[in-house]
Amino acid sequence: MTASYRFTHAITRKPSISITGGLRAVDIGTPDLAKMLAHHADYIAALRSTGAEVVELEALEAFPDSVFVEDTALCLPEGAIVMRPGAPSRLGEAAAMAPHLRALYADVRKISGAESFIEGGDILTTETEVLVGRSARTNASGIVELTALITDWGHRVREVFTPPGVLHFKTDCSLLDGETILATQRLAASGCFDGYRVIQTAEGEEACANTIRFNDLVIMPAGFPKTRDVLGKAGFNVREVGNTECAKLDGGMSCLSVRFTPRG
């Protein structure tokens, strides 16, 4: 398998003016679009600095949360799966992503069951398995359908559980390398990462668990110095990117891109 953190491509989408109406668990303030655009540009620059090709899609005003492209697709080396977001206001985002996946992949499949819901934020792909967290956005039927769609590509799906009250599985964890996961204490305690090496976010810094390993960089939200230093001491090349505005909508580093290496 291609290393689970080596990518030739990423797709991002510009934040829309309608982002101020994006979904959020708790209202902690209106996102500042200008600041979000500046952070978004820094994020794309970090991805590009690793040598990857980054596709920047235009904003979709009809979909306030569409900057969070990760939820619309799962990309594997063999092909891509168009997701079926569990948030009704986000369902149409997946269809808008499909043509961009078809431009890069010969094999694009989709979650289509009327009762199936699954969002990319609930999926963590490691070197050996695809972990999918059941959540308020991802249900058992969505996981069963995903399993059927990727088994012939040689991928093994393991159902896990997103902690109650947490938006997505990856809100609380990230892949750091082939065998290492960054996770909050509450998720690590569930035992779902047994067999992996786990680095826990520092106390009070749980909000930085949504970080990404992208080629040689670990791209993490700025403002979490204790965890940053732990990762640095562990030998990771950390790049901090501002995330204050996306955080108001429960978004983090993984949410802002779909990352992949199409085979062939």
> Pick from 41, 64, 62, 44: which is nearest to 52 by CA?
44
- What would the x/- binding string for ligand GLY be over residues 161 to 200, using CB under 6 A? ------x---------------------------------
Rule CB under 6 A: is residue 250 a binding residue for ligand GLY? yes
Phi and psi at residue 128, in whole multiples of 5°? -120, -15
> Pick from 182, 184, 129: which is nearest to 160 by CA?
129
Q: For the chain, what percentages of helix, strand and coil (3-state, to nearest 5) are there?
A: 30, 25, 45
Element holding 220 (H helix, E strand): strand 217-221
Element holding 239 (H helix, E strand): strand 237-241
Q: Using the rule CB under 6 A, which residue among 15, 22, 142, 252 binds ligand GLY?
A: 22
Asked whether the CA dihedral 255, 257, 258, 263 is positive or negative, the reply is negative
Query: Judged by CB, which is closer to ligand GLY: 91, or 202?
Result: 91
Q: Using the rule CB under 6 A, which residue among 68, 105, 117, 214 binds ligand GLY?
A: 68
Rule CB under 6 A: is residue 236 a binding residue for ligand GLY? no
Q: Which of 39, 168, 208, 246 is catalytic?
A: 168
Q: Using the rule CB under 6 A, which residue among 33, 55, 57, 87 binds ligand GLY?
A: 87
Rule CB under 6 A: is residue 122 a binding residue for ligand GLY? no
Q: Which stretch binds ligand GLY (CB under 6 A): 11-19, 33-41, 229-237, 249-257?
A: 249-257
Rule CB under 6 A: is residue 222 a binding residue for ligand GLY? no
